[in-house]
Chains A and B, each alone.
Chain A
């Protein structure tokens, strides 16, 4: 366990982008909040504002969703690149010969990289996103001049967003384990062009299946795994049960209908996610690829 802590710390030394990238994004967003044009009137921030009371409920949701989405997209991209590069980079710069001269097992090394990509990096992004939202709320409240009962400062809503973020991180780590493990496998194995090697074998399988069997099983599995499959299982989507409510709003002369979650807790579908066989099939494939990665790592030296 002590080794593992040092391995994690080591990753922060090597990959300062883990916290630098989200810090820059956060700084840009806060900068935008300070100097940007604020569209909405002060009513938007009031608990009883003119949007039928929805504003209060949603100001923090909207802000969190907007900020959270930008962090999530960048986190996915940087984590993917990290996983694809980490076991390749130290073979390329030959530093693997230094790391392997220390009493640290290949299992610990591989698992530390996996933990960074799937858990540590997302948690760092969450921490910085929280800080960003806090600073933006502060700046916006200051600019609009509404404090106290503003929709931006709602402890219960904030708690919901934190629960949602942790749920996202945990379930995404489980759902995307086979993809993360595939990236690590390529990173441990390839002697050049890791990006190409991460794409070509799946593409080859897809084309060969289509050519020889005329089917698309692998392709649809991959599309489901990387696309809609996750949200379908981890969340109650609109129209699914009582998690979503429709509200009709007076908007100038006409009306508009908004479909919104009744609460973020209600949207999380624990049973749907953990009860799905696809979730656990993915875990099994991921674990098998991690075991293979450790075996490859034990046999590889510098390139």
Chain B
């Protein structure tokens, strides 16, 4: 099948700074993809390019369109929340619904209203009167009422407390996700989303350093906790990263033979956040 998003040699330059450096990736439909990287790695630049908010160099197709040239058409099939606090203070909730219903051919008003009825928010409230968590609920209701093929979220929970963050992701997975949709999320708080992802892309210094499904990760990566006496022996299998913890050492391997590693201890698949730390620190070592 063809990819929903396809990027080849995608670059974005701000003056002398290369925010994206010939990045290559593709995203298939029906996936929940986490674009993960340290601050300043190029996450936001990549998303902005995909959403047509900025021009770029290289080849990029999103839903078969060139994002920068065809942003207006693209936004009929793709929607995004770039941080939650962007609904203007003067806008009333009912005006927001009216406006989106007026300009968006795939907006289902009844669905937005039903989602908002579950909350404490009144239609006559202005955004400036709402708490950040409530604004998130409004924005999410507006966006989830759009029948879009692609939903992009850029640091969606920045500045929210833990309850609001949890209910944000619950709503996303339970009320929104199905096999016809694709979600792309960036965050630097990996732990928060790793349970809902099907794929991860790690980005560092403008390049995609890892692009894999969670199944692939389970096949490809392994980790073991090794007692001090066996450290040297474990090293012969060429871990790409090691980390000392509580007197023991954790070794991370790529493409290693799990059966052989089992001699040193219990072999496990590293979590996305561990893998992220290992990959980023490993690259630095």
Whether both chains belong to one complex is answered with yes
Q: Mark the stretch among A22-30, A102-110, A132-140 that contacts chain B.
A: A102-110
Partner of B102, one of A6, A13, A105, A298: A6
The residue in B80, B83, B90 that gathers the most chain A C-beta atoms within 10 A of its C-beta is B90
Complex formed: what's the CA distance from A90 to B89 in Å?
10
Query: B100 near A102 (CB under 8 angstroms)?
Result: yes
Contact between A94 and B85, CB atoms less than 8 A apart: yes
Tell me the minimal C-beta distance from B64 to chain A in angstroms. 16
Chain A residues with CB under 8 Å of B79's CB are: 101
A299 on the interface (CB 8 Å rule)? yes
Residue of A nearest to B54 (CB): A299
Number of interface residues of B (CB under 8 A): 34
- Interface residue B132 (Cβ < 8 Å from any Cβ of A): no
- CB–CB B103/A104 < 8 A: yes
Classify the secondary structure of B's interface with A. Answer: mixed
In whole angstroms, what is the CA distance A97 to B103 when docked?
16
Contact B88 A301 (CB under 8 A): no
B81 at the binding interface (Cβ < 8 Å): yes
B89 touches A93 (CB 8 A): yes
CB < 8 Å A-B pair total = 77
Residue pair A298, B105 in contact (C-beta under 8 Å): no
- 1/0 contact string of B136-174 vs chain A (CB within 8 Å): 000100010000000000000000000000000000000
> Does B210 reach chain A (CB closer than 8 Å)?
no
Contact digits for B87-131, partner A, Cβ 8 Å, 1 yes 0 no: 111111001001110111100000000000000000000000000
Asked if B102 and A94 make an inter-chain contact with CB atoms under 8 angstroms apart, the answer reads no
Task: Say if the beta carbon of A143 comes within 8 Å of chain B.
Answer: no
Give the residues in chain B near A90, CB-CB below 8 Å: 88
**Alpha-carbon gap, A103 to B99, bound state (A):** 11
8 Å CB interface, B55-82 against A = 55, 68, 71-73, 75-76, 79-82
Cβ 8 A contact of A100, one of B71, B73, B89, B139: B71
Contacts of A6 in B (CB 8 A): 98-99, 102-103
Find out whether the CB atom of B80 lies under 8 angstroms from the CB atom of A101. yes
| A240 contacts partner chain B, Cβ-Cβ < 8 Å | no
Interface-centre pick from B73, B79, B81, B86 (highest chain A CB count, 10 A) = B86
| Nearest neighbor of B102 in chain A, beta-carbon distance | A6
Whether B53 lies near A301 (C-beta < 8 A) is yes
A98 interface residue (CB < 8 Å to B): yes
Tell me which of A5, A93, A97 contacts B83 (CB under 8 A). A97
Residues in A whose Cβ lies below 8 Å from that of B71: 100, 105-106, 298
| Contact present for B90 and A13 (CB under 8 Å) | yes
Q: Can you name the residue of chain B whose Cβ is closest to the Cβ of A2? A: B102
**How many residues from A make CB contacts under 8 Å with B?**
26
Which A residues touch B51, using CB under 8 A?
100-101
- What B residues does A299 contact at CB under 8 A? 54-55
| A95 on interface, CB distance cutoff 8 Å | yes
Distance between Cα atoms of A77 and B90 in the complex (Å): 22
Known: A102-B103, A103-B75, A299-B54. A95 touches B80 (CB 8 A): no
Closest chain-B Cβ to A1's Cβ sits at a distance in Å of 12
The reply to whether A13 and B91 form a contact with Cβ atoms under 8 Å apart is yes
**Chain A contact residues, majority secondary structure:** helix
Of B75, B91, B99, B143, chain A has the most CB atoms within 10 Å of the CB of B99
Residues of B within 8 A of A93 (CB): 86, 88-89
| Interface residues as binary, A144-167 with B (CB distance below 8 Å gives 1, 0 otherwise) | 000000000000000000000000
A14 sits at the interface (CB 8 A): yes
B48 at the interface (CB under 8 A from A): yes
Contact of A103 among B72, B81, B139 (CB under 8 A): B72
What's the Cα separation between A14 and B128 when bound, in Å? 13
Least distance between B15 CB and chain A CB atoms (Å)? 14
Cβ–Cβ < 8 Å partners of B81 in chain A: 101
User: Chain B 212-232 against A: per-residue CB contact (8 Å), 1 yes, 0 no?
Assistant: 000000000000000000000
Interface centre among A3, A6, A9, A299 (most CB of B within 10 A): A6
Give complex CA distance A10, B96 in Å. 9
| 13 A-B contacts (beta carbon < 8 Å) | A2-B103, A5-B102, A6-B99, A6-B103, A90-B88, A93-B86, A93-B88, A101-B75, A101-B81, A102-B100, A102-B103, A103-B103, A299-B54
- Chain A positions within 8 Å of B, measured between CB atoms, are 2-3, 5-6, 9-10, 13-14, 90, 93-98, 100-106, 298-299, 301-302
Interface residues of B, Cβ cutoff 8 Å to A: 48, 51, 53-55, 68, 71-73, 75-76, 79-83, 85-92, 95, 98-100, 102-105, 139, 143
14 further A-B contacts with Cβ under 8 Å, apart from A3-B102, A102-B103, A105-B71, are A3-B103, A6-B98, A13-B95, A14-B90, A95-B88, A97-B86, A100-B51, A102-B99, A102-B100, A103-B75, A105-B72, A106-B71, A298-B68, A301-B48
